[in-house]
Amino acid sequence: MLRLQPFELVQPESIGEVLQLLSTHAEHVRIISGGTDLVPNLKLGSIKGDVLVSLQRVDELKNLKEADTQLVIGAGVSLHTIATSKLVQGTVPVLADAVGKIASPQIRNMGTLGGNLCLDTRCRYINQSEFIRSSFGGCLKSDGDRCHVVPGGSLCVAALSSDSVPVLIALGADVDIIGPEGERTIPVEELYTKDGVAHIALSSDEVVVRARVPIPAAQTRITYRKWAVRKSIDFPLVSVAVRIDHIKGSPDILEDGRVVVGVLGPQPKILRLSSLQGQPINEEMAHKVAGIVSRRCTPLANVPYSEDYRKLRLAVEVKRAIRSLFI
Amino acid sequence: MVKKKQNRESEPVAEDFRVIGKNHGKVGAMDRLTGVAKYTDDLSLPRMLHAKILRSPHAHARILNIDTSAAEALDGVFGVVVGSEMPTRYGVIPWTPDEQALAADKARYVGDAVAAVAARDEETANAALKLIDVEYEVLEPLCSPQAALASPLKIHENNKKGNISKHVKLEFGEVDNNLKKADLIIEGHYEFHGTNHAAIEPHCALAYYDNKDLLTIWSSTQVPHYLHRELAKVLVLETRQIRVIQPPLGGAFGAKSEPFDLEFVAAKLSMKTGLPVKCLYTREEVFFAHRGRHPFSMDYRMGFDQNGHILAVDAQTILDGGAYSSFGLVTTYYSGQLLCSPYTFDTFRFESTRVYTNKPTCGPKRGHGSVQPRFAIEVQLDKAAHALGLDPIELRRRNFLGENTRTVNGFVVGSNGFPECLDKIEEASRWRERYDKLPYGRGLGVAGSTYISGTNYCVYPSDLPQAGVQICLDRSGRARIFAGCSDIGQGSDTVLAVIAAENLGLEVNDIRVVSADTDLTPVDLGAYSSRITLMMGHACLMAAENLGKKVREAVAQHWECSAKQVILAGRRAQRLDDPEMFIPIQEAFVLAEAIYGTLGTVGYYDTPKEGVHGEYRGAPIGASPAYSFTAHVVEVDVDAETGDVEVIQIWAAHDCGRALAPILVEGQIEGSVYMGAAEALMENHELMPSGLNPGGRRKHGPGLEGVLAHTSLLDYPIPTTLDTPDIASIIVEKPDPRGPYGAKEAGEGPLHPVIPAIANAIYDAIGVRIDELPITPEKIVAAVQAREEENMKGVRHASASAL
């Protein structure tokens, strides 16, 4: 099997210690939580990690609670906990559903929300061994200077492959980030940049500590759809979260809505449906939205499966998502 | 020299077996379930080194120079080896030796081995590989049969016919005449893609060359004997200096049926360093070593009369062989030779061309060489049934070959339970009520097949037995079987134990099976071509019967009766005419040991050579002592908008002659069905699709050609439990006079029909044909769109019931 390069593992027990470790170990320091994404990437050599700062003993990251109109989920809460929590299922069922679609039961036991938020981008040219990458000269994200997906491209287009992110954005969730300067809060979508090489908009001494998820109001309906080859294990090849808010008292008239599409490039794509305000939520709207998404989203040859099919599939999934939200 | 051989034609046997046909635990299963079993990588020797192999990043390149000095100087490196130190060309088929342990002059695919290092640990070995400097002259990569056939550049310079690895053309009867006479011609082009075996255990070898000039190698091989021979040849040792041991295997499926670079490398590095050396493949290296199913490009033309009888089959096939021959000579023959049952043809012609390409080498995967043509012919039959307005099961019945007969290409077929298989699946799937009547999106499909129970000929010519066994028993009340065959998970150790237990009055647990150790066990050729149950079964039966006879004679002397009056069963020796008169079996063994001294017998088997196949060049290739038969019905649910195919259930009926251990037969049917469904819908051992090319998109660029796309089990999808359909395994028993107790194979035949049955079910569900595998959602959507465009034009109306 592939060998894991030797590394130093440090296991702090508080956020303060974590921050201190991050600031003292500048060279190839990595945060590890469940390790389900990091360890395979370390084995492939697509990332380096000489010092791994583990969050597993940091209990303050493991809180999951309801606070006012929010669900507050610590970055260290396991995906399994989120998927099966009665609290999450009762307040934000779409999140439990989407998180339950991540990978497999074993991986959800280990993986955490923070890890899924900061999941590395994926591309068929980067998720390969060092040997395979060397056989075609690497790429922008690994030991190379060119992109094999977009000829001449200067920005890496490796794909955001998290199942939780589109849903969190659709929900309007924020993340709390802590760094040497203290805490700051940003909307989840602002966590991502356009560059697949460094797609997380954090500095190396910052840590995501929790997500704040607004509990949807009665007039909000959200669903998540994922397509992958298999029914378990796989990363999504098409993923989309669809949110519909109806006008209070008129459950079949659109007030607002948004579609959040994953697996395009490093950033999720957010399409707002405010132009359809006042229109009936029906089959026609399903087609209209599918058309908008299809026009504005361009799957690339970054993950397996043809771009043309994934585009078509995305439109179908959007249409079906909206249908599933009819009352 | 003419030797008398025992070609056992089984006598009719009583139906009241004590052990045969009963449900037993699998020998060795608990060790695997509890994690006690030691696979090759679990073995460790004192002062053991770890080897790693340097591989070519180029698909096609001349090796100009290799400088290993920096690697050798690295602390912790004990030895380095390059191709020129093991120059002998070898190949599992002795007629086509075109491989070297490490490529000395040329690398022929991305991943071809060029050098290896033994170091104190894997990290050091990996670090040393980076210090080896190989100077390559990069050549044009020829990554498809079309490119290889068109290019003047040869992948193997010494090959006589350009890049053609093997060409076979055979014709039986006047095919063209019959095509002219036919009422219906069905023509089709079919593509079968490459697939890997994806055995969960990666290849591993541990070698130790001791100071007494004995090389011991533990290897995850399914052919210890062939490995033994090739090691001697390449390492220039005598066979007596080599001991090959096969530890428990974590799956093989044909992936481990020839020698690989790691075995030579571990052995050579042990010889060079004097220390034990282990080499374990990464998953990526498993995909490089490959020997998976050949991609086939097939053009089929078949003629039928108006009643649906097959008048002619004309099959043209291009096989994408990859870089080396492997079993390719045999694959090329099998691509046609194994098509000729369970249906009868008046005439048959096939022309198959295997082409070298700069890709990982293709070889034998479960259903070697015959799964691909079976896809084509079974879909052809489905198309014919629709054109003729016949039920596809009925069409197959009308063309039934029969039993105790000869195929058009001269194979002699004994028992044939194909009609019973059709009956069983027709009933179990409620075919008559449901076929062609389910709502749009739901469909049923049928397909049949046959397979061999071992090949009539060894891969090298000899007058020696193909299978050998030794059985001993003693006063302990236990029996020991020493058998050269490889239990690769299929359960061959259990089959031997069942046969011995039946004859010696023991329970399966009373038998110790020692298998696949070339020092301890008689020669068996290995676990390939579904040969062990039939061949080792005969050998074991011969030895066990003779040993049982001695025990019965000893007891008879004691009781002063005839040996015929003594039966051995249920851990007892008892009087046939007086069930109250018995002694424990252990006492019977004591009596026998007292009379005959130490007790042991041998058994062996060779295939019948006369009158089992035709008399033409290539006639014996594909001939078998006995043939299994299979029929499947598949039910699918197809989403025509997304192209998703959900296989709901598969009913698989298989005629294995006699199920010596029914649970194992069911396991083989389920495993085959699972594997076939995965090939049909998911797996693809394909190359990277596209690359950077300045000025143009979607064009192949330098460096990307010949690079495998999926080299992990995340990217190369095999089904999870959630993706696996319900499988109904139905055992049909038509004992064959040439099998031990009538037994025939069960390990490979049941894979064949799955793939065409899925394709046929998709047609029943939504009325489109997918003739190019794998069947992906994308292809289904494209086919549905194409049909809708046709409908819009009003040219042709397609429905679920019209062709």
At B344 the pLDDT is: 97
Q: How distant, in Å, are the alpha carbons of A67, A105, A200, A215, A230 from that of A188?
A: 18, 25, 11, 15, 28
- Any domain includes A36: no
**A229 and A262: one domain?**
yes
CA of B273 vs chain A CAs: smallest distance (Å): 23
Looking at residues B3-29, what average pLDDT do you find?
69
**A89 and A196: one domain?**
yes
Asked if the Cβ–Cβ distance from B692 to A147 is below 8 Å, we say yes
Predicted confidence (pLDDT) at residue B215 exceeds the cutoff of 70: yes
Asked if the Cβ–Cβ distance from A135 to B707 is below 8 Å, we say yes
CA of B162 vs chain A CAs: smallest distance (Å): 27
What residues in B contact A231, CB-CB < 8 Å? 720, 722-723
Q: How distant, in Å, are the alpha carbons of A258, B189, B236, B265, B493 from that of B252?
A: 50, 31, 28, 20, 16
User: Does A3 contact B at CB distance below 8 Å?
Assistant: yes
CA of B795 vs chain A CAs: smallest distance (Å): 26
At B692 the pLDDT is: 42
Q: Which of A127, A136, A233 sits opposite B704 (nearest CB)?
A: A136
CA of B467 vs chain A CAs: smallest distance (Å): 35
B71-113 pLDDT tens trace:
999 999 999 999 999 999 999 999 999 999 999 999 999 999 9
Task: State how far the Cα of B593 lies from the Cα of B587, in Å rounded to an integer.
Answer: 10
Task: State how far the Cα of B85 lies from the Cα of B248, in Å rounded to an integer.
Answer: 31
Asked if the Cβ–Cβ distance from B123 to A124 is below 8 Å, we say no
Looking at residues B623-633, what average pLDDT do you find?
97
Predicted confidence (pLDDT) at residue A161 exceeds the cutoff of 60: yes
* DSSP string covering B531-544: -HHHHHHHHHHHHH
Interface confidence, given as ipTM, is 0.96
What residues in A contact B282, CB-CB < 8 Å? 1-2, 129
Predicted confidence (pLDDT) at residue B367 exceeds the cutoff of 60: yes
**A79 and A175: one domain?**
yes
Looking at residues B487-511, what average pLDDT do you find?
97
B446-480 pLDDT tens trace:
999 999 999 988 888 889 999 999 999 999 999 99
Looking at residues B544-548, what average pLDDT do you find?
98
- Any domain includes A17: no
CATH topology identical between B29-37+465-605 and B369-456+616-683+718-793:
yes
At B15 the pLDDT is: 59
CA of B585 vs chain A CAs: smallest distance (Å): 49
**A276 and A238: one domain?**
yes
Token couple for B528: 């390939």
Looking at residues A211-220, what average pLDDT do you find?
97
At B793 the pLDDT is: 83
Searching chain A, which residue's CA lies closest to the CA of residue B286?
A: A1
Cα angle, residue B509 at apex, residues B508 and B514 outer, rounded to 5°: 90
Q: Which of B282, B682, B709 sits opposite A229 (nearest CB)?
A: B682
Q: Which of A2, A124, A229 sits opposite B717 (nearest CB)?
A: A229
SS3 B661: coil
CB-count burial class (<10 Å; 0-12, 13-18, 19+) for B46: exposed
* DSSP string covering B322-371: ESS-TTHHHHHHHHHHTTS-SB--SEEEEEEEEEE-SSPPB---SSTTTH
Asked if the Cβ–Cβ distance from B694 to A152 is below 8 Å, we say yes
Looking at residues A181-193, what average pLDDT do you find?
97
Domain count, chain A: 2
What residues in B contact A312, CB-CB < 8 Å? 781
Asked if the Cβ–Cβ distance from B722 to A5 is below 8 Å, we say no
Domain residue limits, chain B:
29-37+465-605, 369-456+616-683+718-793
What residues in A contact B694, CB-CB < 8 Å? 151-152
Q: Which of B641, B691, B714 sits opposite A316 (nearest CB)?
A: B641
Of the pLDDT bands very low, low, confident and very high (cuts 50, 70, 90), residue B794 is low
- Any domain includes A48: no
CA of A43 vs chain B CAs: smallest distance (Å): 11
How many CB atoms within 10 Å of residue A143? 13
Q: Which of B643, B692, B696 sits opposite A148 (nearest CB)?
A: B692
Asked if the Cβ–Cβ distance from B711 to A316 is below 8 Å, we say no
Query: Which structural domain range is residue A65 located in?
Result: 59-118+159-214
B307-366 pLDDT tens trace:
999 999 999 999 999 999 999 999 999 999 999 999 999 999 999 999 999 999 999 999
Q: Which of B55, B123, B691 sits opposite A131 (nearest CB)?
A: B55
**A184 and A69: one domain?**
yes
How many CB atoms within 10 Å of residue B669? 27
Q: Which of B282, B701, B715 sits opposite A1 (nearest CB)?
A: B282
- Any domain includes A46: no
What residues in B contact A135, CB-CB < 8 Å? 57-58, 110, 703, 707
Q: What is the CATH number of domain B369-456+616-683+718-793?
A: 3.30.365.10
> Mean of the per-residue pLDDT values for chain B?
94
At B795 the pLDDT is: 53
At B4 the pLDDT is: 41
How many CB atoms within 10 Å of residue B213? 11
Q: Which of B711, B721, B778 sits opposite A129 (nearest CB)?
A: B711
What residues in A contact B691, CB-CB < 8 Å? 136, 148
- Any domain includes A226: yes
Of the pLDDT bands very low, low, confident and very high (cuts 50, 70, 90), residue A325 is very high
Predicted confidence (pLDDT) at residue A160 exceeds the cutoff of 70: yes
Q: Which of B280, B282, B720 sits opposite A230 (nearest CB)?
A: B720
Question: What are φ and ψ of residue B448, in 5° steps?
Answer: -130, 175
**A236 and A192: one domain?**
no
B655-692 pLDDT tens trace:
999 999 999 999 999 999 999 999 999 999 999 875 54
Q: Between B242 and A5, where is the model more confident?
A: B242
At B690 the pLDDT is: 55
Task: State how far the Cα of A289 lies from the Cα of A241, in Å rounded to an integer.
Answer: 12
**A73 and A190: one domain?**
yes
Amino acid at residue number B734? K
B658-667 pLDDT tens trace:
999 999 999 9
Searching chain A, which residue's CA lies closest to the CA of residue B55?
A: A131
Task: State how far the Cα of B609 lies from the Cα of B772, in Å rounded to an integer.
Answer: 39
A89-140 pLDDT tens trace:
999 999 999 999 999 999 999 999 999 999 999 999 999 999 999 998 899 9
Interface test with B, best of A1, A154, A227, A314 (most B CBs within 10 A): A1
B184-214 pLDDT tens trace:
999 999 999 999 999 999 999 999 999 789 9
At B703 the pLDDT is: 59
B693-739 pLDDT tens trace:
433 343 434 458 899 999 999 999 999 999 999 999 999 999 999 99
At B9 the pLDDT is: 43
CA of B120 vs chain A CAs: smallest distance (Å): 14
**A190 and A224: one domain?**
no
Which residues partner with B280 through β-bridges? B204
What residues in B contact A305, CB-CB < 8 Å? 778
B558-603 pLDDT tens trace:
999 999 999 999 999 999 999 899 999 999 999 999 999 999 999 9
B223-280 pLDDT tens trace:
999 999 999 999 999 999 999 999 999 999 999 999 999 999 999 999 999 999 999 9
Residue at a domain's end among A214, A238, A254: A214
Alpha helix (H) ranges present in B451-491? none
- Any domain includes A8: no
User: Does A229 contact B at CB distance below 8 Å?
Assistant: yes
Cα dihedral A260, A261, A267, A270 sign: negative
Asked if the Cβ–Cβ distance from B682 to A230 is below 8 Å, we say yes
Task: State how far the Cα of B620 lies from the Cα of B636, in Å rounded to an integer.
Answer: 39
B761: alpha, beta or left, given left = phi > 0 and alpha = psi -120 to 50? alpha
**A226 and A205: one domain?**
no
Percentage of residues in chain B having pLDDT higher than 90: 92
What residues in A contact B711, CB-CB < 8 Å? 128-129, 132
Q: How distant, in Å, are the alpha carbons of B308, B385, B398, B713, B731 from that of B394?
A: 9, 9, 6, 41, 21
B229 Cβ contact list (under 8 Å, min separation 6) = B239, B460
Q: Which of B643, B701, B720 sits opposite A231 (nearest CB)?
A: B720
Asked if the Cβ–Cβ distance from A151 to B697 is below 8 Å, we say yes
Task: State how far the Cα of B677 lies from the Cα of B650, in Å rounded to an integer.
Answer: 9
At A326 the pLDDT is: 87
Asked if the Cβ–Cβ distance from A313 to B720 is below 8 Å, we say no
- Any domain includes A15: no
Residue at a domain's end among A149, A180, A214: A214
User: Does A287 contact B at CB distance below 8 Å?
Assistant: no
Q: Which CATH number fits domain B29-37+465-605: 2.80.10.50, 2.120.10.80, 3.30.365.10, 3.30.70.20?
A: 3.30.365.10
* CATH code where residue A103 lies: 3.30.465.10
CA A53 to mean position of chain CA atoms? 21
Contact B78, B118 (CB under 8 A): yes
Predicted confidence (pLDDT) at residue B801 exceeds the cutoff of 70: no
Number of helices (H) and strands (E) in chain A: give both, helices first: 11, 12
Task: State how far the Cα of B291 lies from the Cα of B255, in Å rounded to an integer.
Answer: 6
User: Does A324 contact B at CB distance below 8 Å?
Assistant: no
Q: How many residues does chain B have?
A: 803
**A73 and A210: one domain?**
yes
Asked if the Cβ–Cβ distance from B719 to A230 is below 8 Å, we say yes
**A226 and A277: one domain?**
yes
**A114 and A205: one domain?**
yes
Asked if the Cβ–Cβ distance from A136 to B691 is below 8 Å, we say yes
Q: Which of B697, B711, B777 sits opposite A132 (nearest CB)?
A: B711
Contact B336, B300 (CB under 8 A): no
- Any domain includes A236: yes
At B14 the pLDDT is: 47
